[in-house]
Amino acid sequence: MATEIEMKLSVPSHEVMDQILQDPQLTQYMRDEPETRHMRSTYYDTEDGALCARRWTLRLRDEGGTPVVAMKTPNANAGTGLYTRHEWQCRAARPEEAVPRLVEQGAPASLMQLTQGKRLEAICRAEFDRRSTCLYLPDGVRIEIAADEGVLSGGGNEQPLRELELELLFGESEALPPICRRLIETYGLTEEPQSKFQRAIALCRARTENPAE
């Protein structure tokens, strides 16, 4: 099991995203230029919505040609701007074949019980280009900075996606907020309180609530 610790910031334009990735206050800690990969994420649930009811995320992501299935638990720090979630992942072409392997890694055993004998259905998606690299900060702190630009889709609706993710890979989580505060103040960014999945599933619900639209 891994614990994902990250912060998400909404970015107003592609031009501002470019400025951020070229900011000297960040580039001084980069050893490599950002690498670009195309990401296609599909989120799954059972027909009766058993996973969403528990606020679990089951995602199949094509990461530049490599299929990876991940399960995530709810954010333990909702409302603070900091995402802290348990995460398990493995390479697999289909979520069904990944479920037993995720449980072997330590994912909740009930994941197997809830999905056994049921069809896992694609409910929403996110497709985007990711430019990412690592920041190597003092005291051994290492942070991945990822610039994501693309689209969220669900229920026949779409929504533009443009956000900056800063994920702590090593060190103390206290290192994240100061960097994010400076970016917010310098570039007029805002904290993004919802995950990609939460925003995409909201598009599905909007279709259900407004069927005539």
pLDDT (tens digit per residue) in 110-153: 999 999 888 999 999 999 999 999 999 999 999 999 999 999 99
Give me the pLDDT at residue 186, please: 97
Determine the 3-state secondary structure of 212 from DSSP: coil
Helix, strand, or coil (residue 39) = strand
Give the 3-state secondary structure of residue 85: strand
- At position 54, the amino acid (one-letter code) is R
Q: DSSP 3-state assignment of 86?
A: strand
How many Cα atoms sit within 13 Å of 27 on the Cβ side?
A: 9
Q: Does an H or E element contain 113, and which?
A: helix 110-115
* Region of residue 14 (left: phi > 0; alpha: psi -120 to 50; beta: else): alpha
Query: Virtual CA dihedral for 129, 64, 75, 86, nearest 10 degrees?
Result: -160
Q: Which two structure tokens, joined as six digits, stand for 92?
A: 């697999």
Smallest Cα–Cα separation from 5: which of 197, 169, 135, 175?
169
In the chain, which stretches have pLDDT less than 50? 211-213
What's the confidence (pLDDT) of residue 133? 98
For residue 30, the SS3 value is strand
Domains of the chain: 2-208 (2.40.320.10)
Q: How many helices (H) and strands (E) does the chain have?
A: 7, 9
What does DSSP assign to residue 205?
A: H
Q: What is the pLDDT of residue 212?
A: 47
Tokens of 33: 């230029």
For residue 208, what pLDDT is reported?
52
pTM of the model: 0.90
